[in-house]
Chains A and B, each alone.
Chain A
Amino acid sequence: MPRYLLSVYGPAERNRFGDYPSKEEMLQAFADTGVFNEKLERDGHFVFADGLEPAGTATTVDGRGERPVVTDGPYLETKEHLGGFWVIEAADLDEALALAAEGSKACRGKVEVRPFHTRESIAAMLEA
């Protein structure tokens, strides 16, 4: 079954309650997301999901040279960063989009849906 990455982006700087306006709303979003995750597991879509610490806690490593070069901060310099994500299995894009809409409602954020490579797509790439 095709796999999709559902990414949730948010501002680089978070306030006291993550990106949420209040503690109550943060807790409610967590609870709703938990319910959504349980549904994903129950229906056989769940592969992995989690939220991330703020982008400021990221470290970028370049191991291509002789010695790894370690830099403080995220790879991309942008105002919005990946804040959390799901990896799901879905029959097709329509199902993935429907699940993303539910996830977006639960976590109160926009969700980007992106397909993973498949055996066939890699084979096609090798052939081209």
Chain B
Amino acid sequence: MTASPVDVAIARAHQDEWARVVASLARRFGDLDVAEDAAAEAFAVAVERWRRDGVPANPGGWLTTTATRRAVDRLRRESHRDARQEAARMLSERGPEGPTGPVEDDRLRLIFVCCHPALAMEARVALTLRLLGGLTVAEIARAFLVQETTLAQRITRAKAKIRAAHVPFRVPSPSDVRERLDGVLAVVYLIFNEGYLSGTGDTALRTDLCDEAIRLARLLHALLPGDGEVAGLLALLLLTDARRAARVAPTGELVRLDEQDRDLWRRDLIAEGHALVRERIAAVAAGGEPPGRYQLLAAIGAVHTHAASARDTDWSQVVVLYDRLARLDPSPIVRLNRAVALAEVDGPASGLAEVDRLAADLDGYHPFHAARADLLARLDRAADARAAYERAIALTANPAERAHLTRRRDLVAGP
């Protein structure tokens, strides 16, 4: 069944306008509950009305007007209307420091509320997907494999805390915005990785999470075009997502980067990601702030996607980028990735020596054993390689990765 033009228009309006409607009502009425419910009602009315009367000339304006009326009706019905409206006025107009930050879009304010550090990480993710992404509670619950009631409660509690503790509906002050923005980017990256890395749950819903994360990153980039880390995160997500189709074989097995069919990579996403990376390199060269973590990860993704084959990859450039990343984030996982790249430059023995230094930190981390096993196999230490694959297989629950590791183990020649 093909969707009717009206249904297409509604789906499109939902993508384009949901966050804008919620955000403008949140500012106007100072209450996320009112904003969310009124936006949902407006879209429900649109389904009925647009089918009957046709799609309005300005769908976004129609939805905002309808949602605003619904919100006003609801507040009229409630006895403490005056107090609430007073609170709403304070929320929207307060702030002796006046407008802060570069762009005062309501959606940007809403992002900072949803990703406020006073909320638990899982609440930030759920709120962001609901209020900015427009995913339903049922969709978010299924994507994260939690009960719908649990997820609904998580969102309700977060909204109650935002209201009671007076989380402000505004962009943080210039002195805090960098740190708070990093928190926002972490939420978006987590949503993407949940969709990209986790092997459990409904595949289509997981793809939705990746798409949603990219949409959020695009929105942030549109609102904060000059921010290097925002551009870096968007580029990183595009360059990672471009490889999605090549990452899992038809058998369901995970396919490692060097074995991927590069014809399956999305050239459009790669071109967009490369353009962003080039912009950032130019901005840094022109005296901008040095690149942060997301820009460096995006640059590494750009090196990989630039190469026609794994063999053609500029591995020494990858090592240099991981060196810079390690200076910002000296975590063992960054050092593991650096060691894997180093093995391509200096040979598997050098890589293995670096990897082995991380044993104490990463013994419970399956990619550590998988990387070690690959290097051992290349050094013809078959028995050690098989043992390391066994360790890696035992440590991962992801069926796609288990299939991949099992095949690699079986490729190692017997003694």
Contact = CB atoms under 8 A, between A and B. Distances in A.
B46 to A, nearest CB: 29
Given A120-B80, A127-B78, 8 more contacts: A91-B94, A92-B166, A92-B168, A93-B116, A97-B118, A114-B165, A121-B164, A124-B84
Contact of A94 (B80, B83, B87, B168): B168
12 contacts: A2-B166, A91-B94, A91-B95, A93-B167, A93-B168, A94-B167, A94-B173, A96-B165, A96-B166, A120-B83, A126-B80, A127-B80
Contacts of B116: 93
Contacts of B266: none
A98 B172 CA distance: 12
A-side interface size class? 10 to 19
Contacts of B118: 93, 97
Interface string B86-125: 1100000011000000000000000000001010000000
Interface residues of A, dominant DSSP: helix
Interface residues of B, number: 20
A119 to B, nearest CB: 6
Nearest to B163: A121
Interface residues of B, dominant DSSP: loop
Interface of A: 2, 91-94, 96-98, 113-115, 118-121, 123-124, 126-127
A120 B84 contact: yes
Nearest to B86: A120
Nearest to B84: A120
B16 to A, nearest CB: 30
Interface in B156-178: 163-168, 172-173, 176
A2 B116 CA distance: 18
B94 to A, nearest CB: 6
Contacts of B172: 94
A123 B84 CA distance: 9
B58 interface: no
A93 B164 CA distance: 10
Counting chain B CB atoms within 10 Å of each CB, the highest count among A113, A120, A126 belongs to: A120
Nearest to A3: B166
